[in-house]
Amino acid sequence: MNVAVRFLRPFARCLVPYTFHMRPSNLYSGVLQRYMSSKVPSLSCHNKDSTSPPEQLELDGWKATMKSSIQEDSVSEVSDKDEDSLAATRELIEMWRLLGREVPEHITEEELKTLMECSSKSAKKKYLRYLYVKENIKKARRIKKEMKAEAREEAKRSRLLETTTGEQKQDFMFLRLWDRQMNVAEGWKGIQAMQFGQPLVFDMAYDNYMRPSELQNAVSQLLESEGCNRRNVDPFHIYFCNLKIDSAYHRELARRYEEKWDKLLVTTTEKSPVDLFPKDSIIYLTADSPNVMTTFKHDKIYIIGSFVDKYLQTGTSLAKAKRLDLATECLPLDKYLQWDVGNKNLTLDQMIRILLCLKNTGNWEKALKFVPRRKHTGYLEVSEHSQEVFRKLKKTKTLSSFQKGSLNARTWKK
């Protein structure tokens, strides 16, 4: 076999164009044909059956070139015989990529190790897909960045031309320091909130219910929520309760905030919220709660479980509230929205946006506009809702205290 290959190799290069551009009466293809048929005798007899004999040579020619063109690289590959499973996996991924599967182009040692730790085949595929998507996003972003930089250069150059031609003096009242001014102002507001603001607790006791990816998501949502709160007119005083030092949560938060972590205008504590606040003023917000939140109460302390639950461990936070014997409430999503698809659990930043909006306006319609649009088909009729409220009030016999025309529940509750 080796002999045949050696013999072929010199021809292999010139062979290809020849066989296909000239007619197959060519000498070399005859050689090829013989080579092929000597190798796999059944092949030639099979080919005799097929319908178009004149095209035979064209049909099988590529095989020989494929086979021969390769022998060259196989020499180099002999050297690393002791391929461990890591290298094999790397190659598997490469082959999958050739096949058009969703796998990343480049994979680091670390990611490869994570991949090997995945317990099942589908877990591996999922992880590879995640890496693939991540890589694509990164790539797209880089391209966009480059394009932007180019455009900026262009603009700069043209501006340079302009300024050199017509230079004129302008009068300004302020130096350009907006971002910093904003930060300082937000800092002032934040300090005020630390002193006089309404507490809002994030319960961080769920880190052992979450997988690493969920924890990462949870931390991202926390960052987002904190940012929202900071920009608000009247921020909450945020507590991160049950945040154990050196837990996964703590490490991840410190990593994401970097040096800002120690200057953050929030209270972080290892204590549980029940140790910090009177029990009867605490309300645990959870979608599993049987009680529906009717109004935002300014004298209560709301707790949000910072828990991303992708694997549907229903009732975890309700169980927690039950254990601590706390009041629970859920958002009145069904009352105001025509729910369509999706989980009633909202993300942390959506929750804090809704709460902030309620705190400032007390208007449910406005607050619930932060519920993702894809999850509901629209708002329920307000009149219908108020009728429902009316009916409920009638039932619970508190109608006497209800004053006509004031829909703001806070005013009549008191």
Q: Give the footprint of another protein on this chain (CB under 8 A).
A: 12, 15-16, 19-20, 40, 42-43, 46, 50-52, 55, 58-63, 65-67, 69-71, 74, 77, 85, 88-89, 91-92, 95-96, 98-101, 121, 124, 290, 315-316, 318-320, 322-323
Integer Cα distance of 351 and 63 in angstroms: 63
CB 24 → another protein: shortest distance, Å?
Answer: 11
Nearer to another protein among residue 12 and residue 238 (C-beta): 12
Nearer to another protein among residue 64 and residue 371 (C-beta): 64
241, burial (CB in 10 Å: exposed 0-12, middle 13-18, buried 19+): buried
Nearer to another protein among residue 125 and residue 256 (C-beta): 125
Nearer to another protein among residue 115 and residue 304 (C-beta): 115
CB 135 → another protein: shortest distance, Å?
Answer: 19
C-alpha angle 217/222/225, rounded to 5°? 125
CB 320 → another protein: shortest distance, Å?
Answer: 7
Nearer to another protein among residue 391 and residue 413 (C-beta): 391
Nearer to another protein among residue 155 and residue 292 (C-beta): 292
CB 287 → another protein: shortest distance, Å?
Answer: 13
CB 122 → another protein: shortest distance, Å?
Answer: 11
CB 59 → another protein: shortest distance, Å?
Answer: 5
Integer Cα distance of 202 and 319 in angstroms: 16
C-alpha angle 7/12/18, rounded to 5°? 125
**For residue 88, how many C-alpha atoms fall within 13 Å in the half-sphere facing its CB?**
6
Query: What secondary structure letter does DSSP report for 408?
Result: -
C-alpha angle 210/214/218, rounded to 5°? 105
Q: How far is CA 105 from CA 97, 118, 158, 213, in A?
A: 7, 19, 39, 21
